[in-house]
Amino acid sequence: MRAAWYERNGPARDVLTVGELPTPSPAPGEVRVRVAVSAVHRCDTRKRRGTSGSVMRFPRIIPHDDGAGVIDAVGRGVDARRLGQRVWVYLAQSYRPFGTAAEYTVVPDPQAVALPAGVPFDQVAGLGRPGITGHRAILGDGTVVGQTVVVTGALGSVGRSSLAVGRRAGATVIAAVRQDAQVARALAAGAHHAVDLASGRVARRILELAPGGVHRVADCAFADNLATWLETLAYGGTIATYANGRSRAPVPFRSLAVKNVTVHFLGNDDFPDDANHAAAVDLTAALCAGDLCFPKVRSFALDDIVEAHEAAEQPATRGRVVVTP
Protein backbone atom coordinates (compact mmCIF):
# COMPACT_ATOMS: atom_id res chain seq x y z
CA MET A 1 0.00 0.00 0.00
CA ARG A 2 1.01 3.64 -0.40
CA ALA A 3 1.73 5.32 2.91
CA ALA A 4 3.57 8.18 4.57
CA TRP A 5 5.80 7.62 7.59
CA TYR A 6 8.63 8.95 9.70
CA GLU A 7 11.39 7.13 11.60
CA ARG A 8 12.68 10.05 13.66
CA ASN A 9 11.29 13.29 14.99
CA GLY A 10 11.85 16.55 13.17
CA PRO A 11 10.56 19.03 10.57
CA ALA A 12 8.19 17.63 7.98
CA ARG A 13 10.60 18.15 5.09
CA ASP A 14 13.36 16.32 6.94
CA VAL A 15 11.55 13.25 8.23
CA LEU A 16 8.38 12.45 6.24
CA THR A 17 8.68 9.75 3.58
CA VAL A 18 6.06 8.51 1.09
CA GLY A 19 6.36 5.06 -0.42
CA GLU A 20 5.20 1.44 -0.32
CA LEU A 21 4.61 -0.52 2.86
CA PRO A 22 2.95 -3.90 3.46
CA THR A 23 -0.83 -3.67 3.72
CA PRO A 24 -1.78 -4.42 7.35
CA SER A 25 -4.17 -7.19 8.35
CA PRO A 26 -6.62 -6.68 11.21
CA ALA A 27 -5.81 -8.48 14.44
CA PRO A 28 -8.58 -10.02 16.57
CA GLY A 29 -11.03 -7.31 17.56
CA GLU A 30 -9.81 -4.94 14.83
CA VAL A 31 -11.11 -3.73 11.48
CA ARG A 32 -9.18 -2.59 8.45
CA VAL A 33 -10.33 0.63 6.78
CA ARG A 34 -9.56 1.68 3.23
CA VAL A 35 -8.87 5.34 3.91
CA ALA A 36 -10.65 7.94 1.79
CA VAL A 37 -9.60 11.03 3.77
CA SER A 38 -6.96 11.46 6.49
CA ALA A 39 -6.98 14.55 8.74
CA VAL A 40 -3.90 16.51 9.81
CA HIS A 41 -4.26 18.02 13.28
CA ARG A 42 -1.79 20.21 15.12
CA CYS A 43 -1.26 17.34 17.57
CA ASP A 44 -0.15 15.15 14.64
CA THR A 45 2.50 17.71 13.71
CA ARG A 46 3.60 17.99 17.35
CA LYS A 47 4.00 14.22 17.56
CA ARG A 48 6.07 14.28 14.38
CA ARG A 49 8.26 17.13 15.68
CA GLY A 50 8.65 15.45 19.07
CA THR A 51 7.34 18.45 21.04
CA SER A 52 4.92 18.69 23.97
CA GLY A 53 6.40 15.56 25.51
CA SER A 54 5.91 13.41 22.41
CA VAL A 55 8.43 10.61 21.94
CA MET A 56 9.02 7.96 19.29
CA ARG A 57 7.28 4.95 20.83
CA PHE A 58 7.84 2.87 17.68
CA PRO A 59 10.69 2.70 15.15
CA ARG A 60 8.35 3.72 12.30
CA ILE A 61 5.15 5.76 12.59
CA ILE A 62 2.43 6.32 10.01
CA PRO A 63 0.97 9.62 11.27
CA HIS A 64 -2.55 11.00 11.83
CA ASP A 65 -5.11 9.93 14.39
CA ASP A 66 -8.30 10.67 12.48
CA GLY A 67 -9.76 9.71 9.12
CA ALA A 68 -12.69 8.24 7.24
CA GLY A 69 -13.25 5.47 4.72
CA VAL A 70 -14.78 2.03 4.24
CA ILE A 71 -14.18 -1.18 6.20
CA ASP A 72 -12.75 -3.81 3.85
CA ALA A 73 -11.58 -6.50 6.31
CA VAL A 74 -12.40 -7.57 9.86
CA GLY A 75 -10.43 -9.48 12.46
CA ARG A 76 -11.54 -12.48 14.45
CA GLY A 77 -14.43 -11.66 16.78
CA VAL A 78 -15.72 -8.72 14.72
CA ASP A 79 -19.16 -8.89 13.12
CA ALA A 80 -18.67 -9.65 9.41
CA ARG A 81 -21.63 -7.41 8.63
CA ARG A 82 -19.29 -4.48 9.13
CA LEU A 83 -17.64 -5.23 5.78
CA GLY A 84 -18.35 -2.42 3.32
CA GLN A 85 -19.54 -0.04 6.05
CA ARG A 86 -18.72 3.65 5.77
CA VAL A 87 -16.94 4.81 8.94
CA TRP A 88 -15.03 7.60 10.58
CA VAL A 89 -11.96 6.66 12.59
CA TYR A 90 -10.54 8.21 15.75
CA LEU A 91 -7.25 7.81 17.66
CA ALA A 92 -5.78 5.44 15.08
CA GLN A 93 -2.22 6.43 16.00
CA SER A 94 -2.77 6.94 19.72
CA TYR A 95 -0.25 4.59 21.40
CA ARG A 96 -0.10 2.73 18.06
CA PRO A 97 2.22 2.98 15.05
CA PHE A 98 -0.43 2.85 12.29
CA GLY A 99 -2.24 6.13 11.65
CA THR A 100 -4.48 7.08 8.75
CA ALA A 101 -1.89 8.63 6.38
CA ALA A 102 -2.01 5.54 4.20
CA GLU A 103 -4.30 3.68 1.84
CA TYR A 104 -5.27 1.37 4.73
CA THR A 105 -5.29 1.54 8.49
CA VAL A 106 -6.29 -0.92 11.22
CA VAL A 107 -8.04 0.14 14.44
CA PRO A 108 -9.95 -1.52 17.28
CA ASP A 109 -13.51 -2.19 16.17
CA PRO A 110 -15.17 0.52 18.36
CA GLN A 111 -12.86 3.20 16.94
CA ALA A 112 -14.40 2.83 13.47
CA VAL A 113 -17.75 4.61 13.86
CA ALA A 114 -20.59 3.82 11.45
CA LEU A 115 -21.36 6.75 9.16
CA PRO A 116 -24.66 7.23 7.31
CA ALA A 117 -24.46 7.70 3.56
CA GLY A 118 -25.51 11.35 3.60
CA VAL A 119 -22.48 12.65 5.54
CA PRO A 120 -19.40 13.45 3.39
CA PHE A 121 -16.10 11.86 4.38
CA ASP A 122 -14.35 15.23 4.49
CA GLN A 123 -16.77 16.45 7.20
CA VAL A 124 -15.90 13.58 9.55
CA ALA A 125 -12.29 12.81 8.66
CA GLY A 126 -11.03 15.19 11.35
CA LEU A 127 -13.85 14.76 13.82
CA GLY A 128 -12.24 12.40 16.30
CA ARG A 129 -9.76 14.32 18.42
CA PRO A 130 -11.45 17.73 18.46
CA GLY A 131 -14.99 16.37 18.56
CA ILE A 132 -14.39 14.00 21.44
CA THR A 133 -12.48 16.69 23.33
CA GLY A 134 -15.39 19.11 22.89
CA HIS A 135 -17.86 16.47 24.03
CA ARG A 136 -15.80 15.71 27.13
CA ALA A 137 -15.42 19.41 27.92
CA ILE A 138 -19.19 19.84 27.99
CA LEU A 139 -20.45 16.50 29.35
CA GLY A 140 -17.50 15.18 31.35
CA ASP A 141 -19.42 15.66 34.61
CA GLY A 142 -22.86 14.66 33.44
CA THR A 143 -25.94 16.59 32.38
CA VAL A 144 -25.90 20.30 31.55
CA VAL A 145 -29.68 20.62 31.13
CA GLY A 146 -30.74 24.10 32.20
CA GLN A 147 -27.16 25.23 32.78
CA THR A 148 -25.16 28.02 31.13
CA VAL A 149 -21.87 27.09 29.50
CA VAL A 150 -19.22 29.25 27.86
CA VAL A 151 -17.20 27.93 24.92
CA THR A 152 -13.93 29.66 23.99
CA GLY A 153 -12.32 29.15 20.59
CA ALA A 154 -15.87 28.66 19.41
CA LEU A 155 -15.00 28.70 15.70
CA GLY A 156 -12.28 26.05 15.98
CA SER A 157 -12.97 22.34 15.60
CA VAL A 158 -13.17 21.70 19.36
CA GLY A 159 -15.24 24.83 19.86
CA ARG A 160 -17.77 24.01 17.14
CA SER A 161 -18.16 20.53 18.60
CA SER A 162 -18.65 22.00 22.08
CA LEU A 163 -21.31 24.40 20.80
CA ALA A 164 -23.26 21.59 19.14
CA VAL A 165 -22.96 19.21 22.10
CA GLY A 166 -23.94 21.86 24.63
CA ARG A 167 -26.96 23.07 22.70
CA ARG A 168 -28.19 19.55 21.95
CA ALA A 169 -27.72 18.62 25.63
CA GLY A 170 -30.05 21.39 26.83
CA ALA A 171 -27.61 24.10 27.93
CA THR A 172 -27.65 27.80 27.12
CA VAL A 173 -24.40 28.23 25.21
CA ILE A 174 -22.34 31.43 25.15
CA ALA A 175 -19.55 31.54 22.58
CA ALA A 176 -16.44 33.56 23.42
CA VAL A 177 -14.60 34.73 20.29
CA ARG A 178 -11.48 36.80 19.72
CA GLN A 179 -12.90 39.66 17.69
CA ASP A 180 -16.21 41.34 17.04
CA ALA A 181 -16.26 40.18 13.40
CA GLN A 182 -16.56 36.57 14.63
CA VAL A 183 -19.71 37.10 16.71
CA ALA A 184 -22.14 36.51 13.83
CA ARG A 185 -20.22 33.40 12.73
CA ALA A 186 -20.38 31.94 16.24
CA LEU A 187 -24.13 32.48 16.37
CA ALA A 188 -24.47 30.80 12.97
CA ALA A 189 -22.42 27.88 14.33
CA GLY A 190 -24.98 27.25 17.05
CA ALA A 191 -24.30 29.54 20.00
CA HIS A 192 -27.28 31.15 21.73
CA HIS A 193 -25.14 34.22 22.50
CA ALA A 194 -21.64 35.38 21.58
CA VAL A 195 -19.20 37.77 23.26
CA ASP A 196 -15.94 39.28 22.08
CA LEU A 197 -13.01 38.51 24.40
CA ALA A 198 -11.12 41.52 23.05
CA SER A 199 -13.89 43.97 23.96
CA GLY A 200 -12.51 44.73 27.42
CA ARG A 201 -15.90 44.14 29.10
CA VAL A 202 -16.38 40.45 28.48
CA ALA A 203 -16.99 39.52 32.13
CA ARG A 204 -19.71 42.13 32.47
CA ARG A 205 -21.35 40.98 29.25
CA ILE A 206 -21.31 37.32 30.35
CA LEU A 207 -22.88 38.22 33.71
CA GLU A 208 -25.57 40.19 31.89
CA LEU A 209 -26.41 36.98 30.02
CA ALA A 210 -26.01 34.76 33.10
CA PRO A 211 -26.74 36.86 36.22
CA GLY A 212 -26.30 33.87 38.51
CA GLY A 213 -22.95 33.00 36.99
CA VAL A 214 -21.76 30.42 34.48
CA HIS A 215 -21.91 26.74 35.37
CA ARG A 216 -19.25 25.42 33.00
CA VAL A 217 -16.50 26.69 30.70
CA ALA A 218 -14.97 24.75 27.82
CA ASP A 219 -11.70 26.63 27.51
CA CYS A 220 -8.80 26.62 25.04
CA ALA A 221 -6.60 29.18 26.83
CA PHE A 222 -6.65 28.44 30.56
CA ALA A 223 -4.00 30.87 31.79
CA ASP A 224 -5.06 33.67 29.42
CA ASN A 225 -8.73 33.52 30.45
CA LEU A 226 -8.63 32.43 34.08
CA ALA A 227 -9.25 35.88 35.54
CA THR A 228 -12.47 36.15 33.52
CA TRP A 229 -13.72 32.78 34.75
CA LEU A 230 -12.97 33.63 38.38
CA GLU A 231 -15.25 36.64 37.95
CA THR A 232 -18.05 34.91 36.05
CA LEU A 233 -18.25 31.31 37.32
CA ALA A 234 -21.07 30.38 39.65
CA TYR A 235 -20.30 28.75 43.00
CA GLY A 236 -19.31 25.14 42.29
CA GLY A 237 -18.67 25.90 38.61
CA THR A 238 -16.34 23.94 36.38
CA ILE A 239 -13.55 24.79 33.95
CA ALA A 240 -12.71 22.07 31.43
CA THR A 241 -9.55 23.16 29.60
CA TYR A 242 -7.58 21.48 26.85
CA ALA A 243 -4.94 24.17 26.18
CA ASN A 244 -3.15 26.83 28.21
CA GLY A 245 -2.89 29.80 25.82
CA ARG A 246 0.21 31.94 25.53
CA SER A 247 0.46 33.05 29.15
CA ARG A 248 2.06 31.28 32.09
CA ALA A 249 0.36 31.95 35.38
CA PRO A 250 0.30 30.30 38.81
CA VAL A 251 -2.94 28.61 39.79
CA PRO A 252 -4.79 30.98 42.17
CA PHE A 253 -5.68 28.31 44.69
CA ARG A 254 -7.60 30.46 47.16
CA SER A 255 -9.70 32.23 44.52
CA LEU A 256 -10.68 28.87 43.00
CA ALA A 257 -11.27 27.29 46.40
CA VAL A 258 -13.55 30.07 47.67
CA LYS A 259 -15.94 29.35 44.80
CA ASN A 260 -15.37 25.57 45.00
CA VAL A 261 -14.36 25.57 41.33
CA THR A 262 -13.46 22.27 39.68
CA VAL A 263 -10.78 22.36 36.97
CA HIS A 264 -10.40 19.49 34.49
CA PHE A 265 -7.24 19.37 32.39
CA LEU A 266 -8.18 17.33 29.32
CA GLY A 267 -5.79 15.10 27.35
CA ASN A 268 -7.58 13.35 24.50
CA ASP A 269 -5.33 10.27 24.29
CA ASP A 270 -6.41 9.15 27.72
CA PHE A 271 -10.16 9.64 28.01
CA PRO A 272 -12.03 6.54 29.24
CA ASP A 273 -13.23 4.23 26.47
CA ASP A 274 -16.86 4.62 27.46
CA ALA A 275 -16.54 8.42 27.19
CA ASN A 276 -15.03 8.08 23.70
CA HIS A 277 -17.79 5.74 22.58
CA ALA A 278 -20.56 7.98 23.96
CA ALA A 279 -18.99 10.97 22.25
CA ALA A 280 -18.80 9.12 18.94
CA VAL A 281 -22.54 8.37 19.05
CA ASP A 282 -23.50 11.94 19.97
CA LEU A 283 -21.18 13.57 17.43
CA THR A 284 -22.42 11.39 14.58
CA ALA A 285 -26.00 12.29 15.49
CA ALA A 286 -25.11 16.00 15.55
CA LEU A 287 -23.56 15.77 12.09
CA CYS A 288 -26.52 13.88 10.66
CA ALA A 289 -28.94 16.45 12.11
CA GLY A 290 -26.97 19.35 10.66
CA ASP A 291 -26.21 20.75 14.13
CA LEU A 292 -22.46 20.33 13.60
CA CYS A 293 -20.71 21.49 10.46
CA PHE A 294 -17.09 22.34 9.76
CA PRO A 295 -15.66 24.99 7.43
CA LYS A 296 -14.04 24.38 4.08
CA VAL A 297 -11.38 21.70 3.85
CA ARG A 298 -7.94 22.25 2.35
CA SER A 299 -7.03 19.00 0.64
CA PHE A 300 -3.62 17.57 -0.35
CA ALA A 301 -2.56 14.40 -2.14
CA LEU A 302 -0.59 11.88 -0.10
CA ASP A 303 2.55 12.75 -2.10
CA ASP A 304 2.15 16.33 -0.83
CA ILE A 305 1.92 15.41 2.85
CA VAL A 306 4.89 17.66 3.68
CA GLU A 307 2.96 20.67 2.41
CA ALA A 308 -0.12 19.47 4.29
CA HIS A 309 1.80 19.33 7.58
CA GLU A 310 3.32 22.74 6.97
CA ALA A 311 -0.12 24.18 6.26
CA ALA A 312 -1.54 22.65 9.46
CA GLU A 313 1.28 24.24 11.46
CA GLN A 314 0.46 27.76 10.25
CA PRO A 315 -1.81 29.76 12.58
CA ALA A 316 -3.24 31.58 9.56
CA THR A 317 -4.57 28.36 7.99
CA ARG A 318 -8.37 28.40 8.23
CA GLY A 319 -10.48 25.29 7.98
CA ARG A 320 -9.32 21.71 8.04
CA VAL A 321 -6.25 20.22 6.42
CA VAL A 322 -6.67 16.72 5.00
CA VAL A 323 -4.73 14.23 2.92
CA THR A 324 -6.40 11.93 0.38
CA PRO A 325 -4.49 8.65 0.05
Cβ neighbours for 89, distance < 8 A, ≥ 6 positions apart: 33, 35, 66, 67, 68, 69, 100, 105, 107, 111, 112, 113, 128
pLDDT (mean) for 50-60: 85
Q: What is the pLDDT of residues 197-232, one digit of tens each?
A: 887 788 999 999 999 999 999 999 998 899 999 999
Average per-residue pLDDT in the chain?
A: 93
Among 78-92, 121-135, 222-236, 306-320, where is mean pLDDT lowest? Answer: 306-320
Place 316 in a pLDDT band, splitting at 50, 70 and 90: low
Q: Which of 71, 68, 179, 135 is nearest to 285 (CA)?
A: 135
pLDDT (mean) for 132-146: 96
- Domains, the chain, ranges and CATH? 2-126+294-323 (3.90.180.10), 130-265 (3.40.50.720)
Q: How many CB atoms neighbour CB 110 within 10 A?
A: 14
Amino acid type, 31: V
Amino acid type, 106: V
Place 118 in a pLDDT band, splitting at 50, 70 and 90: confident
Q: What is the pLDDT of residues 10-27, one digit of tens each?
A: 999 999 999 999 999 999
Percentage of residues of the chain with pLDDT beyond 90: 82
How much is the pLDDT for 317?
Answer: 60
**Cα(264)–Cα(136) distance, rounded to whole angstroms?**
10
**Cα(199)–Cα(211) distance, rounded to whole angstroms?**
19
Whether 197 contacts 177, CB under 8 Å: yes
pLDDT (mean) for 35-41: 96
Q: What is the pLDDT of residues 154-199, one digit of tens each?
A: 999 999 999 999 999 999 999 999 888 899 999 999 999 999 988 7
How much is the pLDDT for 55?
Answer: 80
Q: What is the pLDDT of residues 246-293, one digit of tens each?
A: 767 678 889 899 999 999 999 888 899 999 999 999 999 999 999 998
Q: What is the pLDDT of residues 231-243, one digit of tens each?
A: 999 999 999 999 8
Place 67 in a pLDDT band, splitting at 50, 70 and 90: very high
Percentage of residues of the chain with pLDDT beyond 70: 98
What predicted TM-score, i.e. pTM, was given to this entire model? 0.93
Q: Is 218 helix (H, G, I), strand (E, B) or coil?
A: strand
The answer to whether residue 80 scores a pLDDT higher than 80 is yes
How much is the pLDDT for 215?
Answer: 98
The answer to whether residue 146 scores a pLDDT higher than 80 is yes
Whether 27 contacts 67, CB under 8 Å: no
How much is the pLDDT for 296?
Answer: 74
